Structure 1
Amino acid sequence: MSTTLIALYRYLFLFYCAACAVLVMSTLLWQQHHNRQLLQAQLQLYGDVIQLALSPKLGQAAPEQLQQQLAELQFGASIPVAALALYPLQGELLLSVGQTELVPMELPGQDFSSLTLITLSGRDVAVLPLQKPALPFEPFSSQPTYLLLIIPEAPTAIWLLWWPSVLAWVLLTVLLLLAWRLREAPQRQQLQRLQSFKQRAESLQLQGVEPLLQCQDSAGLDQALLQVLEQQQQLEQQNKQLDTQQQQLMAQLEVFQLQSEQQQIQQQRRQQCLVRWLHQWQLLGQRKPQLTEAMFDTLQQLHYCYAKHQFAAAGLQPQPLLLPEWLTEQLGALNMLLPDDCAMDWLESGDCYQLLPEIDAEFLKHVLQAMLLLALRSESARRFSFKLQLLASPDPQLSLQLACDGNGLPRHLTAQLHEADSSALQWRDADIAVLKLAARLLNASLHVESLEGLGVRISLQWALIAATRHSVPLLEHLLVFDADPERLTERLQSLHNLALQVSSCSNLSELRKRLQEQAYSAILIFLPGQAPCQEWLTVLTEIRCPRFIFVPPLSLSLWQQNLSCLSSADFCLGWLAQRLHELATRPLKHLLVVDDNETNQAFIKVLLQHKGVQLTSALTGAEALTLCQQQQFDLVLLDIRLPDLAGTEVARQLRRLTSYQQVPLLAFTAHALPAEIASFRAAGMDDIVLKPLDPCKFETLLQHYRLC
């Protein structure tokens, strides 16, 4: 049984060995055929990749570029490639890369309509026809234009590869079969995946990426391809963003070019205006002999102000400014512009002391100058009224109003005021240019009314920033007289901040009555424009309190011959506030009257009521010398004939005192002959006061020696 079994085993073994040999040989032959098919598939796939990468450059790129592209394709091949060569459809070798010694100069003449495996020099090579598309992204044409020779690396000898397997097959047939099956499966999967990659790549070129993006459940290669497509989409989005940014930059460039052109036009206009301004400046210099000094200087200032803000773009520099004090400083220069036959009234609102506005003082001065020069161009204008009104509510505003009589402005001036362009103005029109400039810089409302026979009204008003200010009244009771009721009303509104109580009257009889009924701290009088009369002189002489008298300019010289007075054009709140402050803060002047006549002493005492002068009386020369040694007097009125000593002797002794060498000594006498006057001077007396005492001359004397 065992022998039979052994024989059977041997027989079966021989049969098995023969069967195994046959199986092995058939397997080897099948493997060789399978490898050839696999090589053909790999070469076909590799050729498709080359077709996609190389076809768009055929006929367009230089041979050097094609050769470089072939070298990159050889290096990145999925299978070992020994050489690549490119042939025209009918012709010799065009170019090659890799092991060029394996490349033939010509290909055998046969039909290569698709990928074809042929044998050259004992190895399998592939010939791939290349089609050139007519346009980018179009299907390939059916006629090839070039042939691509692909020479793979020489495969390893099959017997050397399978000899260990043949030996192992005898011992482990089942195991070898299993190993072979396991090895075959990945190759099939790889082939399928390569074919799927090819199909998806072709689908991407022909139908877009939407079908591929929907394949999110694919593995491995699908995910890698999906990532590539996502990157491609990101690049497209970035390209779109770059396009949008480029469009925005182009739009900004167009806006910049437009702005640049506008700036160039404006610069040209500025240059033209500047040249014209320089020409007008030269013309102004040529007109200097024809103008007054004040008019010429003011026009120069206005021209400079216009150029500074129009061409140099200098901004305003507002600073806190107390308007009454500022106007006091500017009043003299502004009044110099008025002709001698013109009268000016400066009126200020009461809020000028309640608010502290922020204003560019220099620019405000030029605005007032421009308004005054423009009003002076009114024909036959003689009387002017300039009102500065600082309004506190609802928002702080400054209002400048100038009115004058006459026949109004010429028509061409009113037309220039309404024109937007100021470049065509002449040298004399600097006032109009500055007013229009002020309206623009201050955002102010400018109104000019000119009516024939009714004169001119100019108003400029703008909003500003102002801080509140607390003012303390300087007087207890102020009396104001003005023959013009309308002007009196305007002045009363501005004087309530300077006194606790302000009274007013507008006719002479009422003034005399008020002076008799009540005592006042000070009196402010605006005399009518008439020649001095005795009635007025009598009333003014009877005033015993500090008085401030203002007269119209036309009759000022006549009034100044009889009393101390000022021009009404010089009055403003700041001036009055300064004088009242001096009255309130100055020390009392001390007057010594030496006279044995008590009637004269009493009369002088009456004259000094409300004058702010302290009076000391002495009846003899010895008493006067004693008093002067004990205290200091500012003025000594010395009678010549005293009971004990002569007035000249008292004067000589006073001059010996160091403290009285500069004190005024006045001779008080009923007569003064030339010889007597010489003796008075020799004794050290400064002046002579005649008896009986004239109140007007006595007040003038006190003012001369600054006692009141």
Structure 2
Amino acid sequence: MKQLFIRPLWPLMLLAIFVVLSLVASWFSLQLWQQQQHTAYLHQLSRHAALLAMHPLREQNSQALSQTLQALQQHSVLPLQAMAVYDKNQQLFAATEGSEEVLSNYSPLPSATQPVVLADGMLLFSVPVWADVQQQGRHDLPVPAISSEQLGHLLLVAGPSAAVPLWLMLPMLLLVLLAALLLYGWQQKKQQKRARQQLLLSQQLQQGCVADVQGHDFALLIDAWQQQQQRHQQQLRSVGRDAELRLQQQEQQHAHTAENLLQLQQSYQQLKLHSQSCDQQLKFWLELCHRSDSLSAVDLRSKIQALQLLSELHAADFALQPDHLWLPDWLAQQAPLWFSDNKLPEQFVFDEDPQAYQFKMNIDTRLLSVLCHIFSSYCQQAAAGQDILFSYRLCEVPQKQLKLTFKYAGAGFSARWRQLLLAQPDSELTLDDVEAEVARRLLQELHGSISLNSLEDLGTQLDILLPVSWQKTSQSKLCQSILVLDERPCRLPLLKQSLAAIGEQVHSVATLAALPEAVQLRLVDLVIVLLPESSASLHQDAAKLSALAERYQLLFFASDKARQLWQPLLASRLLPVPILLSHVSHALQHPNELGNQQLLVVDDNLTNLKYVQAMLSGGGLRIDIAMTGQDAIKMASNNRYQLILMDIQLPDLAGTEVTKRIRQLRHHQHTTILAFTAHALPDEIASFRLAGMDDVLIKPLDTRKIAHILTKLSPADEIR
């Protein structure tokens, strides 16, 4: 068998393999060519049949068409299964015998540029039948005319083409095998002759018959000896490579064994720690079962949730799941869940970072919420009803971090909690230590740190630092001026600092009596009112607030006690305290339809003003009117309008000049201003736009123009 692979026979073997592969490739090519020809013949036959069906289908002669199709199927050498013609209503018009049974398995196709290969190997052709055709080329089939109507379509079902028999290639294969055998025999004979010559020459050299040695035979002997030496050297090199390879394999096995031992040792340590953790958790669950009768429902649920989370943190497949987080929304959604009744206690005061309003963070939100839940519950118990300040800040030094702070005046953290959070416990954990242990593990998973500062007279401050990453968003401030009414002066500075995230200017008043005057003194986009829990003149104050709510955008916040007092007297919705950035931002981004939209109409004709006022009053708009340019400028300076209808011809100033002056006001640089005129030429429209007007509205008003005005109104939250 080795003689088949010696060096002189390699070309012969490669030649034989190449010929065999060529024969196989030729067979497959022939098979593919036959299939293509089969498809082409079927496609041409279907087109011919469509041409033959044109006149019978146009004359509604189904019998003649059926006979024609039957004749085509009988005289065709192709494996036709069924031929049928459908009219333009997808109804069967004519078909060959037995076609109904075949076509019942297929849905007719109105048109198809390529044949459809079905699951059972059948080919389905669908060719349209046109009313008029035209001849393009001498040897080409007619094509439909440009304005031709489709009368229907022809459906042809044909079987697959027969495979090319493999035995057709056997003669060629036998010839190739015969040629290979002849070449092999010739090569063997040549090698035997060379071996005899080498043996004879070797015997003559040993006998000293040098005279009989010819140059050619001597060269052959030298070549044979060199080839033998080369084979010997190749064997030596092969043995050396094998020895080196075995040595490398042994070294790799030793290294792999050492690595396996190290992995086994690490796995053993992990299993040991996991076993200890399981034993500890089992002890916790057993202790919880024994103490379940003495615990309240809230404490029992809290212990169960803590034990479940502790088991999850000790799991081998536990991994962080970071998510995009916008801090104001996260605080508004998650803070109520920190407490048993899913409601924020009124003792909590929130100090939100105005810089965080423009950033989104990446952090595991679930673990962050659980961590805040544990510390807020502890602080609530330790504060004993006193105020608790919770704040968050984004810090960039020494790295990007989220700083959470709990601050209250009350008892500090117990020595046991300090030991569990800041150092390793010196004794075995008990069921009372579960919350502190969960907090410690959460800080480890989030790679955070904690600091505790307690003074007897000043209170306790807990700082949590968590490394995070954040991306700046395109969030901009929603309004320019905010007015806050809060009768508690101690919380007002914190609230003003937080609201600076969504307002350019934040002003405040301390009493409800000063609110109307403060609103009139400055342009205000939003008024936030924290309703008091008692009022000496309740009905009068409610009437004042209702009147202001009709003119300005007001947000009311109230405690549970204040809600019971004010809700029957105010038509507006009362939001729960505390005041959070997310609540204010959401209210600005979702204003009540058109309830806070202000419109200024400038026209020197009183009849036009009253007509416009009557036409637009049904939409809930607040409409101001001005008859001169100076009045319009004065009213625009003291109010914030969402849309201004500007007459062009005014008694004192031109409407374009009034528009230019209004555009110089900061709060009206983006207000929609429409030119309100009876006629406008293209050159005039261009001058209106240069003056700062957004569009032109032709008098008089109708339903379509009113709808156009309402689409131009910008909601209050789009003030920039």
TM-score (norm 1): 0.44
> Max radius of gyration: which structure?
1
